[in-house]
Amino acid sequence: MTRSLRDVVFVDGVRTPFGVGKPTGQYAHTRADDLVIRCIRELLRRNPSLPPERVDEVAIAATTQIGDQGLTIGRTAALLAGLPQSVPGYAIDRMCAGAMTAVTTVASGIAVGMQDVAIAGGVEHMGRHPMGEGVDPNPRIISERLVDPSALVMGATAENLHDRAPDITRERCDAFAATSQARAKAAYDAGVIQRDLVPIATWSEGGWGLATADEPMRPGTTPDDLAKLKTPFRPHGRVTAGNAAGINDGATACLVTAEETAHELGLTPRMRLVGYAFAGVEPEVMGVGPIPSTEKALRRTGLSIDDIGAFELNEAFAVQVLAFLDHFGIKDDDERVNPYGGAIAYGHPLASSGVRLMTQLARQFEADPSIRYGITAMCVGIGMGGTVIWENVR
Amino acid sequence: MSYEEVVTEAKLRWVSVPAGDIALITLDNGFDHTKPNTFGEGGLRSLDAALDEAHARPGLAAVAVTGKPFVFAVGADLGGVPEIPDRETALTVGREGHRVFRRLRDSEVPTFALVNGAALGGGLELALHCHYRTISSGAAAVALPECFLGLIPGWGGTQLLPQLIGADKALQVIVDNALAQNKMLKGPQAFALGIADVMYEPADFLERSLEWVSAVLAGEVTVQRPHVDTGEAWTEAVARTRAGLDARIHGAAPAPYRALDLVGLARTADLTEGFAAEDEALADLIFSDELRSGLYAFDLTQKRAKRPVGAPREGARAITKVGVVGAGLMASQLGLLFAQRLEVPVVLTDVDQARVDKGVGWVHEQIDGLLTKGRVNADKANRLKALVTGSLSKDAFRDADFVIEAVFEELKVKQQVFAECEEVVRPDCVLATNTSSLSVTAMASQLQHPERVVGFHFFNPVAVLPLLEIVRAEQTDDATLATAFAVAKTLKKSAVLVKDAPAFVVNRLLTRFMGEVTKAVDEGTPFSVADTALDPLGLPMSPFLLLALVGPAVALHVAETMHEAYPDRYYVSPNLARLVAAKKPGIYTWGPEGQQVDPEVAAMFSPPADAVPLTAEQVRERALSAMAEEISIMLDEGVVAEAQDIDLCLLLGAGWPFWLGGITPYLDRSGISEKVTGKRFLPNGLASPA
């Protein structure tokens, strides 16, 4: 049997508005699975030429897979979204890079010809499921010094990264954070973000409401405002709530198909998957993760960083984005990097963010057809990085 | 006031859609779907205040009303009705509801009802006042059930619904469905009738509805509704419904007729006039005997039916296999019911193979029918068919936990059957009898373990009538009784505990009643008078149609049994015996001229020389007085615990209507109870205006 590889394309991506993961947040009384179910339904509505029974897989990521994020969420969400019983699904986890991993995994199945169409996404309701809920770390981690205890606290790893890279000052981080907020506001004003948002009916003690906008945004934030914030992870530290992403609730989903299937079904491909890589790094400095994963992906695809015309980098912490930019010799305020703002403004519901990056990259490609290649990259808890390289389909 | 309203709050939140800001009001009483939203004074006040707040906001684009998960609103809060002191106060119930709901209709800003779940009575009426409606395909119940209880849709339903969907469809909902055991619509059916403009699936109902609201506001969607014929079609629909009502209930209950008049009025009256007429009708009906009896009956069928008085709460044994003795039609019906509901092996036995095969065959045919209708899938059909088998030998009962006999109605035969069973079954296997008139105690008397015998009396047709008379014989122990009640519950029947007395409750009363009517005919009253004498009660069928349904042979047999037990009160008609001997199915024939008394039967019942023909009034008086006497004796004898049980039995076992409250409320309010027994059966105010 001869096998041939096929090209895989990103057809469409949507997300819920993200929420603040507190009891007073907009999603406090909304189930996590309902968030991703709405995303799946919206994808199908936006792509009516896709017969639902052609979906070969629904891969949904969540870090904490219990309660309303459990029960093999990809499968149950598919059924509840009204997909036919014949469509299978699964749950997947790589913490922050959950949705990204869902995309690369279904893409691999599609490339090898075993699937044609897949829905991939992620959800995290950190208000209901804080990071670390239900975990039971193996005592050997401590006894064999495999991982430093600080590795389990993301903010501590960010402070560790500041130690490793003293050139990345708090001032640079605050400036970067203020830019992210400003760019997010500008993107909203231009209507860029809203096109891909799914309104969500939200229950509360006061009755039903409708979430239509990202709750965590703080437009008008200045570096001076940020300078006043405390550093909760270390006295006189550098990492604050303002130069990092918050604790958030939200879901994302995207439609990935073989390029030939997109044409067969009358779907419009937006990006072509060129390559991807994941890499492990020291858990105590997890923020450096996207550096080796990007180097690996570039090497595997025969590209160099100079070929990349657009970047969507997850802003778990300003310091780790700046570490990446410094490594590749890119300016802090480079317009190719997160031009529509990032996680510092929108929030980072753990497993979901990967697809938000892809959706925004697709809009970058659309805005400038001259861009050929783009990267979505992120750092991951317990020390990893993930990178996907995309090509503009125009 | 002893009654306290559970207030449904109208919770206002603001929602931004492309077309502007919407005041989204959520109806929520703070409980989950097991305690649905209703409207009392407090609820109306809350809605009033929410509308004030909404309209105070400049730039208000629309008002939308929706419900808590699974429930929109299920009507007016009727808990306070018994305490309404006078007609003036009753008028305010209608007026206040109209005033607040009308704000949604008269609003200059568009209003929308987003019907996300159950919408009944006043809840549906709120939606009808809104300019537009969306509905969820998952809405479990949509109806205007007021006529079923003895009221009318008094917050605008009789005026607004026909103007929306036409008189014919509106009357289907308001009158026909209400009187057909309160039949309700599901979301898709309500949508098909035109009650809502658009329907969305439950998964994202609210999001889709708000998107539609925005599109309507922006003019991107124009709502088209079918034209309503306000001419002849309307008057014809009213006339047709009136004729149907007359034929079915003969004017016995005022509510559906008032509703009909109001729908007739709606053809030409403006809303102010129509709403005022609704207020008056509501006020009248709130104080009507029929409504109070209806509320009483509703309470019995919702509460007492589900928690039978006297049923032991613990000690029920598990049932893993059932035996049925007999394979006739009744036994087969029981076999099917047990298999469907208990999902355990059921073995039918009989004296010859042909009868066994026929019985099992009938059950399998019914299961195939369920499969064809899509009520079960192929796997379930296979499972059910495999569960029901037949046997000539009772050895198949060895491991049974529950055996029920439905053989020939003769004591010796049944005693023999039980003796044969006892040779095979375990000592704690329940032996149940479906006898309708024999003594369960006598049936158990010759057994080694009589304590496990219990009466378990179903009503025909088994699939339809929910009553199960559970009879405690002299020796029946608590564990057997507990098991019987638990099985009844799993069978989805409403059980009533009865002492072992001839014909238990329903047959005893119906036989007494029929006896008086038949006696009147034997003594010279024409059939046409006797058979229509009970029309003012609106019973489901006339006495002689009931005779035909039961079967004259069965009726005669029961009459004879009762006469033996109570010779002074139970009458055996020699003419009925003649009718049975002639194998007539009843007194009527149906031909080209419709229903006529069979001339051969008329000849059997020809008036005697010393004929004493009674008037309809007299026949009614006699029959009902006899019932009152019998009920009084039954209560004294402790056949059932209370009059409420008598009523529940007649409601669920004979289908007697809500406006009679079963029967004792009617006997009380017509003065018959007091005349015959010296006192009322029920305390004043329980099923009547105080």
Cβ within 8 Å of residue B595, ≥6 positions away: B588, B589
Residue B203 contacts A, CB cutoff 8 Å: yes
B24, B69, B203 member nearest A209 (Cβ)? B24
What phi and psi values does residue B406 have, to the nearest 5 degrees? Answer: -135, 55
Give the DSSP H or E segment for A377. strand A373-380
Question: Any idea what DSSP says for residue B18?
Answer: T
pLDDT band for position B371 (50/70/90)? very high
Residue numbers in A near B210 (CB within 8 A): 199, 201, 210
B30: closest chain A residue by CA: A205
Residue numbers in A near B25 (CB within 8 A): 207
Chain Cα centroid distance, residue B483? 26
Residue numbers in A near B16 (CB within 8 A): 210, 212
Gap between the Cα atoms of B296 and B651, Å rounded: 11
B206: closest chain A residue by CA: A201
Q: How far is B25 from chain A (nearest CA, A)?
A: 7
Gap between the Cα atoms of B118 and B141, Å rounded: 5
**Segment B139-159 mean pLDDT:** 97
Q: Is A236 a catalytic residue?
A: no
B13: closest chain A residue by CA: A209
pLDDT band for position A144 (50/70/90)? confident
A34: closest chain B residue by CA: B203
Largest CA distance in chain A: 65
Residue B341 contacts A, CB cutoff 8 Å: no
A81, A201, A207 member nearest B207 (Cβ)? A201
Asked if A5 and A111 count as a contact pair (C-beta separation under 8 A), the reply is yes
Q: What is the pLDDT of residue A336?
A: 98
Instruction: Select the residue from B63, B206, B214 to test the A interface by mutation, using most A Cβ atoms within 10 A.
Output: B206
Cβ within 8 Å of residue B58, ≥6 positions away: none
| Distances in whole angstroms, Cα of residue B470 to Cα of each of B334, B395, B428 | 15, 27, 18
Pairing of strands A8-15, A271-280: antiparallel
Gap between the Cα atoms of A306 and B70, Å rounded: 56
Contact B204 A201 (CB under 8 A): yes
Contact A38 B204 (CB under 8 A): yes
pLDDT tens profile B562-604:
999 999 999 999 999 999 999 999 999 988 888 999 999 999 9
Gap between the Cα atoms of A3 and A26, Å rounded: 49
Question: Hey, which residues does A58 pair with through a beta bridge?
Answer: A89, A119
B64: closest chain A residue by CA: A208
Q: Considering chain A, what is the average pLDDT of its residues?
A: 96
Q: Is B222 exposed, middle or buried (0-12, 13-18, 19+ CB in 10 A)?
A: exposed
A82, A207, A212 member nearest B13 (Cβ)? A207
Tokens of B415: 């005693």
pLDDT of B261 above 80: yes
pLDDT band for position A132 (50/70/90)? confident
Tokens of B187: 């979301």
Q: What is the pLDDT of residue A148?
A: 83
Gap between the Cα atoms of A42 and B247, Å rounded: 53
| Distances in whole angstroms, Cα of residue B577 to Cα of each of B76, B287, B518, B556, B598 | 52, 46, 12, 7, 16
Q: Which of A39, A96, A173, A254 is catalytic?
A: A96
Q: What is the pLDDT of residue A4?
A: 84
pLDDT of B37 above 70: yes
Q: Is A96 a catalytic residue?
A: yes
pLDDT of B420 above 60: yes
pLDDT of A150 above 70: yes
Instruction: Select the residue from B9, B12, B14, B15 to test the A interface by mutation, using most A Cβ atoms within 10 A.
Output: B15
Q: Is B2 exposed, middle or buried (0-12, 13-18, 19+ CB in 10 A)?
A: exposed
Contact B211 A199 (CB under 8 A): yes
B28, B203, B207 member nearest A207 (Cβ)? B28
Q: What is the pLDDT of residue A22?
A: 96
Residue numbers in B near A204 (CB within 8 A): 13
pLDDT tens profile B185-203:
999 999 999 999 999 999 9
B15, B28, B204 member nearest A209 (Cβ)? B15
**Segment A94-101 mean pLDDT:** 98
Tokens of B470: 């559970």
Say whether the peptide bond before residue B599 is cis (omega within 30 degrees of 0): no
Q: Is B583 exposed, middle or buried (0-12, 13-18, 19+ CB in 10 A)?
A: exposed
Reduced to 3 states (helix: H, G, I; strand: E, B; else coil), residue B163 is: helix
Q: Is B99 exposed, middle or buried (0-12, 13-18, 19+ CB in 10 A)?
A: middle
**Segment A16-22 mean pLDDT:** 98
pLDDT tens profile A29-66:
999 999 999 999 999 999 999 999 999 999 999 999 99
A81, A205, A210 member nearest B210 (Cβ)? A210
A200: closest chain B residue by CA: B207
Contact A207 B203 (CB under 8 A): no
pLDDT band for position A90 (50/70/90)? very high
Q: What is the pLDDT of residue B689?
A: 84
Question: Any idea what DSSP says for residue B352?
Answer: S
Residue numbers in B near A82 (CB within 8 A): 201, 203
Closest CA to B115 of B39, B11, B191: B191
pLDDT tens profile B330-366:
999 999 999 999 999 999 999 999 999 999 999 999 9
Q: What is the pLDDT of residue B46?
A: 98
pLDDT tens profile A316-361:
999 999 999 999 999 999 999 999 999 999 999 999 999 999 999 9
Contact A201 B16 (CB under 8 A): no
Residue numbers in A near B15 (CB within 8 A): 209-210
Residue numbers in B near A203 (CB within 8 A): 69
Tokens of A175: 């400036």
Q: Which of A39, A173, A254, A379 is catalytic?
A: A379
pLDDT tens profile A271-296:
999 999 999 999 999 999 999 999 99
pLDDT band for position B690 (50/70/90)? confident
Instruction: Select the residue from B207, B211, B214, B377 to test the A interface by mutation, using most A Cβ atoms within 10 A.
Output: B207
Q: What is the pLDDT of residue B64?
A: 98
Gap between the Cα atoms of B515 and A228, Å rounded: 96
Residue numbers in A near B204 (CB within 8 A): 37-38, 41, 201
Q: How far is A200 from chain B (nearest CA, A)?
A: 6
Instruction: Select the residue from A27, A76, A205, A210 to test the B interface by mutation, using most B Cβ atoms within 10 A.
Output: A210
Contact B210 A199 (CB under 8 A): yes
Gap between the Cα atoms of A126 and A247, Å rounded: 6
Q: Is A254 a catalytic residue?
A: no
Q: How far is A34 from chain B (nearest CA, A)?
A: 8
A198: closest chain B residue by CA: B207
Question: Hey, which residues does A209 pair with through a beta bridge?
Answer: A202
From start to end of B296-381, where are the E strands? 322-325, 346-349
Contact B207 A199 (CB under 8 A): yes
pLDDT of B176 above 90: yes
pLDDT of A394 above 90: no
Residue numbers in B near A44 (CB within 8 A): none
Question: Hey, which residues does B509 pair with through a beta bridge?
Answer: none
Residue numbers in A near B28 (CB within 8 A): 207
Asked if B677 and B629 count as a contact pair (C-beta separation under 8 A), the reply is yes
pLDDT of B116 above 90: yes
Q: How far is B19 from chain A (nearest CA, A)?
A: 13
Asked if B262 and B65 count as a contact pair (C-beta separation under 8 A), the reply is no
Residue B206 contacts A, CB cutoff 8 Å: yes
Contact A199 B24 (CB under 8 A): no
What's the N-to-C CA distance of chain A in angstroms? 34
Cβ within 8 Å of residue A134, ≥6 positions away: A64, A66
Residue B12 contacts A, CB cutoff 8 Å: yes
> Going edge to edge, which strands form the sheet with B9-17?
B9-17, B20-28, B60-67, B111-115, B132-136, B198-200
Contact B207 A208 (CB under 8 A): no
Residue burial A300-318, b: 16+ Cβ < 10 Å; e: rest: ebebeeeebbbbbbbbbbb
Asked if B458 and B334 count as a contact pair (C-beta separation under 8 A), the reply is yes
pLDDT of B1 above 70: no
pLDDT of A204 above 90: yes
Q: What is the pLDDT of residue B82?
A: 85
| Distances in whole angstroms, Cα of residue B381 to Cα of each of B363, B369, B370, B374 | 11, 10, 8, 10
Cβ within 8 Å of residue A381, ≥6 positions away: A95, A96, A131, A154, A283, A286
Q: Which residues of chain A have a Cβ shorter than 8 Å from any chain B Cβ?
A: 37-38, 41, 80-82, 198-201, 203-210, 212
Q: What is the pLDDT of residue B2?
A: 66
Q: What is the pLDDT of residue A142?
A: 81
Asked if A281 and A289 count as a contact pair (C-beta separation under 8 A), the reply is yes
**Segment B665-673 mean pLDDT:** 97
Gap between the Cα atoms of B472 and B480, Å rounded: 9
pLDDT tens profile B551-560:
999 999 999 9
pLDDT of A146 above 90: no
Asked if B520 and B622 count as a contact pair (C-beta separation under 8 A), the reply is yes
Question: Hey, which residues does B136 pair with through a beta bridge?
Answer: B200
Gap between the Cα atoms of B56 and B68, Å rounded: 24
Question: Hey, which residues does A170 pair with through a beta bridge?
Answer: none
Other CB atoms within 10 A of residue A97 CB? 33
Sort residue B175 into left (φ over 0), alpha (ψ -120 to 50) or beta: alpha
Contact A206 B13 (CB under 8 A): yes
Contact B13 A203 (CB under 8 A): no
B13, B207, B210 member nearest A38 (Cβ)? B207
ipTM higher than the 0.95 cut:
no
Q: What's the pTM?
A: 0.92
**Segment B57-74 mean pLDDT:** 97
